[in-house]
Amino acid sequence: MTPPALRYDGVSFTYPDADRPALDAVDATIDDGSFALVVGPTGAGKSTFLRAANGLVPHFTGGVFSGRVHVDGRDTLASAPRKLAGVVAFVPQDPAASFVLDRVEDELAYGMENLGVDPAHMRRRVEEMLDLLDLAELRERSVRTLSGGERQRVAIAAAMAAGPRILVLDEPTSQLDPQGAEHVMAALQRLVHDHAMTVVLAEHRLERVAGWVDVAFGVDEGRVFTGDPAAVIHRLAVGPPVARLGRLVGWDPVPLTVRDARTAARAHANPVANGHASLGQTSGEVIVAANALEAKHAQRRVLRAIDLQLRQGEIVALMGRNGAGKTTLLRTLAGVHDVARGSVIVDGHAPQPGVDVALCPQESDAVLFSETVEDEVRATLAARGNAHGAVSPWLERLGIVALARQHPRDLSAGQRLLVATAAIAATGAPVLFLDEPTRGLDPDSKEHLARFLRSHTADGGVVMFATHDVELAAAVATRAVMLAGGEIIADGSPADVLGDSHVFAPQMTRVFGPGWLTPEQVAEALT
């Protein structure tokens, strides 16, 4: 009998200098050939759980480790990660940071070179991987020039090429647009079905993965429990919007996918003829106005003929594929990217970054430099000449009061993102831009963020955020703007803009038709 792909026996682990364990007496078995999801709140220990699979924890981290992890029957304590490279492959959260060589093809071959694979076999294997993940067109490209989705597929192919039995991925879709995420999930499923691989992945955006996986591991404060995905998701009280709806209206079983939800909706009451989501145009004053705006990046035009007005009280979701120009648009409106043609007016004059416009960049860690979370916010207040301003309201509004005295470096990626958001928002600028504000955020933190955005606009501000997270857009946006190839191709109410798209439609729209955006809205109509 073959050993299970992965077995954790009473694993406890505490990072150096941490006061509580990141993993606490974890027992888990992942069977050969399963497609497993690891789910849990931000900072619960998901990454640690994954990194223990090939011994990066504790070989690379130090700290106190007890118990045993066996991967394909081999003890991770007895073998260094490099000795396990032929058995288990790991794809970290930011694949770009893990690339060793410059060219796609070389990157794919790198792991095999290390394992001493015969060159002729290596050639064949690289070709197979290029086909399997649909990368043949990119083989000569520099990894630095690829889009987020392409990078992720290259990282998976590179991990796979060495022929491991087990593939471990940390949030593989967090940087991807919905279409890119779909491609990656389909590729992973093919590995499980056709190539008998075991795939383990952590993910927050359950709407993207719940339908694909066949077993789930819930992680909560270092404890791990396992079961059928529906049961685990139910127990953590998280889930894609269809599951939230199921819980709200008491469907049993709680649906996990759009298809389940359609079946359930047919069996129970079929709700309503049409959505009523039209929120009406806000009629606040125009604060930000772009006229015939054009911007370039490395001599390429990335924005063309942008006409856009943002009004007080609006929460605008800026959507579009990877590389559509969303980041450049935010940066140009915030006054930190050069305008090639046209104009940007904020409150009657050119935008003043940090004064009337604030932007939380995608690489939000670039903001953080203080010793504690509260100092981080205080630094912003001081820079705005308000050194004695109150810090706690900002922390409260983002739900991070409990972290006030911690060092930002010790927080999870999602928590750091919230800290950066607080530090940026504390400028008090009425115009707030956020670039991918939900990367790595669990549903609870997302809820805090949503509340924060609403309160910002209620105070007379305006918010625009670039996102791939259609469910966030559906839940909080009052308006959606769709970019493609640097042009605005749709601008209107989220119900119209998102409902009209195959790729960007939120789950409620997929189940109940245009006009329905959030589970709360549907639940209200159903009861």
Partner 1 sequence: MTSTGVASQTRRLGFHPGAWICWSTCAGIVAFVTTDPVYLLLLWAVAWFVYASHRSAGATAASFRIFVLAGVLALIVRVALVFLGTVNAANVAFAAREGLRLATILVVFGTFNAVTDPFAVVRLAPRRFHEPALAAALALSIAPRTVASVQTVREAQRLRGINVSPLRSLPALAVPVLERGMEDALTLAESMDARGHGGGRRTRYRPQPFTPAAATIAASAALAAGTFLSASFGGWAELHPASLARPEADPLLLVAIAVLAVPGMLKGERA
Query: Within its chain, how far is the Cα of 290 from the centroid?
Result: 29
Q: Residues 42, 322, 415, 509: which binds partner 1 (CB under 8 A)? A: 322
Q: Residues 69, 109, 157, 160: which binds partner 1 (CB under 8 A)? A: 109
DSSP string, 216-249: EEEEETTEEEEE-HHHHHHHTT---HHHHHHHHH
Q: Residues 68, 74, 123, 341: which binds partner 1 (CB under 8 A)? A: 123
Q: Does 278 bind partner 1 (CB under 8 A)?
A: no
Site for partner 1 in 350-379 (CB under 8 A): 353-355, 357-369, 379
Q: Does 64 bind partner 1 (CB under 8 A)?
A: no
Residue 364 or 412 having the CB closest to partner 1: 364
Q: Does 100 bind partner 1 (CB under 8 A)?
A: yes
Pairing of strands 88-91, 166-170: parallel
Q: Residues 215, 231, 336, 450: which binds partner 1 (CB under 8 A)? A: 336
Residue 177 or 260 having the CB closest to partner 1: 177
Site for partner 1 in 466-505 (CB under 8 A): none
Find the shortest distance in angstroms from Cβ 326 to partner 1: 10
Cα(459)–Cα(81) distance, rounded to whole angstroms? 52
Token code pair at residue 48: 């640690």
Q: Residues 45, 148, 163, 437: which binds partner 1 (CB under 8 A)? A: 148
**Cβ atoms 466, 330 nearer than 8 A:** yes
Find the shortest distance in angstroms from Cβ 478 to partner 1: 24
Site for partner 1 in 449-468 (CB under 8 A): none
Find the shortest distance in angstroms from Cβ 325 to partner 1: 11
Cα(491)–Cα(263) distance, rounded to whole angstroms? 32
Cα(475)–Cα(468) distance, rounded to whole angstroms? 13
Pairing of strands 35-39, 23-30: unpaired
The C-alpha angle with vertex 410 and arms to 406 and 413, in degrees rounded to 5, equals 115
Only one of the segments 23-31, 85-93, 233-241, 396-404 lies at the binding site for partner 1 (rule: CB under 8 A); that segment is 85-93
Query: Which distant-in-sequence residues (6+ apart) come within 8 Å of 382 by Cβ?
Result: none
Residue 53 or 505 having the CB closest to partner 1: 53
Site for partner 1 in 238-277 (CB under 8 A): none
Cα(200)–Cα(245) distance, rounded to whole angstroms? 27
Q: Residues 18, 73, 114, 131: which binds partner 1 (CB under 8 A)? A: 114
Site for partner 1 in 156-175 (CB under 8 A): 158-159, 162
Site for partner 1 in 27-56 (CB under 8 A): 54, 56
Site for partner 1 in 395-434 (CB under 8 A): 409, 423-424, 426-427, 429
Q: Residues 85, 242, 295, 310: which binds partner 1 (CB under 8 A)? A: 85
Q: Does 118 bind partner 1 (CB under 8 A)?
A: yes
Q: Residues 16, 19, 116, 349: which binds partner 1 (CB under 8 A)? A: 116
**Cβ atoms 277, 515 nearer than 8 A:** yes
Q: Residues 27, 106, 447, 520: which binds partner 1 (CB under 8 A)? A: 106
Cα(244)–Cα(252) distance, rounded to whole angstroms? 12
Whole-number Cα distances in Å, 36 to 232, 344, 522? 12, 48, 30
Query: Which distant-in-sequence residues (6+ apart) come within 8 Å of 12 by Cβ?
Result: 21, 23, 24, 25, 26, 64, 65, 66, 67, 222
Find the DSSP H helices in 469-518.
470-476, 494-499, 507-512
Q: Does 131 bind partner 1 (CB under 8 A)?
A: no
Cα(146)–Cα(269) distance, rounded to whole angstroms? 47
Find the shortest distance in angstroms from Cβ 308 to partner 1: 19
Residue 96 or 450 having the CB closest to partner 1: 96
Find the shortest distance in angstroms from Cβ 268 to partner 1: 44
Site for partner 1 in 282-321 (CB under 8 A): 297-300
